[in-house]
Amino acid sequence: MLQEIKKTNYSTCTVHEFLKKEPENCIILRHDVDRAVNRNLAMAKLEHSYRIKSTYYFRHIAETFKPGIICQMAKMGHEIGFHYEVMDKANGDMEKAIEIFGEELEDLREVTENVTEINTVCMHGNPFKPWSNRDLWKKYDFRDFGLIGEPYLSIDYNKVFYLTDTGRTWADLKIRVKDTIDRPGANEKSDLRSISSTDDVIHLIQTEKISQICLLVHPNRWCENLAGWTKELLFQNVKNVGKAGIVWYRSKTRKKDTVNAGL
């Protein structure tokens, strides 16, 4: 995919760069560092070898919050951001959540203070938790923390075509619980049904028909050996069954609530 991007007229940019300039004919590369931090480092090195910079959002958990790796990736020119999950950690208590947010953001800034700035944050979505972490900003303002953006809230997806490998597929299946966008105008104008594999994404990029694309890639899903690939395949297929059930149940509940409200 990176090879084909370099052959096109697309420029690549981080989330921060896009929010500052909103360039035309660009691909925003975004990664959520959910787990398997070494796979994220490998992807960062691969992108760096193509002189491509992207954004890596780090969770504040022991498995991924590795200062040495964070700084190593920042020195390659990649943007480092905070992948917050504070509503989940605070069990939905907004006052406690914003306190945790400030503390964990400061931790990340202390790690990167001599290397780079933290300018954007992005919510982590746990499909099995009842809260949405981005709901924190219904009461508070992330700009009060010296931040300029949050991809789910700050990018206009009426203009930017959004693709994600959530669920271990590029297809827009009914398995996305939290990784959803509120204004999918650009996506509605395109035939998402034709996109399921990475080859399909590559073909879309090769056509250069869409001016602005945002690619969300989870590096933990991309493995270099059969054992890791098989484990990820089995784990995600089981998880997708649960996620599909959650989507179905919540959709049914919303319909019921709508009917009751009408009565």
Q: What percent of the chain has pLDDT over 70?
A: 78
| Span 188-207, average pLDDT | 81
Tokens coding 224: 């270099």
**Three-state SS at 126:** coil
CA distances from 10 to 2, 3, 25, 49 (A): 11, 12, 5, 17
Alpha carbon distance 99, 90 (integer Å):
9
pLDDT of residue 201: 94
Question: What digits encode the pLDDT tens for the residues 35-89?
Answer: 999 999 999 999 999 999 999 999 999 999 999 999 999 999 999 999 999 999 9
Question: What digits encode the pLDDT tens for the residues 156-197?
Answer: 999 999 999 987 688 765 544 445 666 556 665 555 557 888
**Three-state SS at 7:** helix
For residue 153, what is the enclosing H or E element?
A: helix 151-154
pLDDT of residue 243: 43
Residue 122 has pLDDT above 70, yes or no: yes
pLDDT of residue 260: 47
Question: End-to-end distance of the chain based on CA atoms, in angstroms?
Answer: 52
CATH architecture for segment(s) 2-223: Alpha-Beta Barrel (3.20)
Tokens coding 201: 């994404």
Q: What percent of the chain has pLDDT over 90?
A: 68
CA distances from 203 to 26, 28, 50, 99, 216 (A): 16, 17, 19, 45, 17
Say if residues 80 and 112 touch (Cβ distance below 8 Å). Answer: yes
Say if residues 136 and 165 touch (Cβ distance below 8 Å). Answer: no
Say if residues 144 and 106 touch (Cβ distance below 8 Å). Answer: no
| Span 13-32, average pLDDT | 97
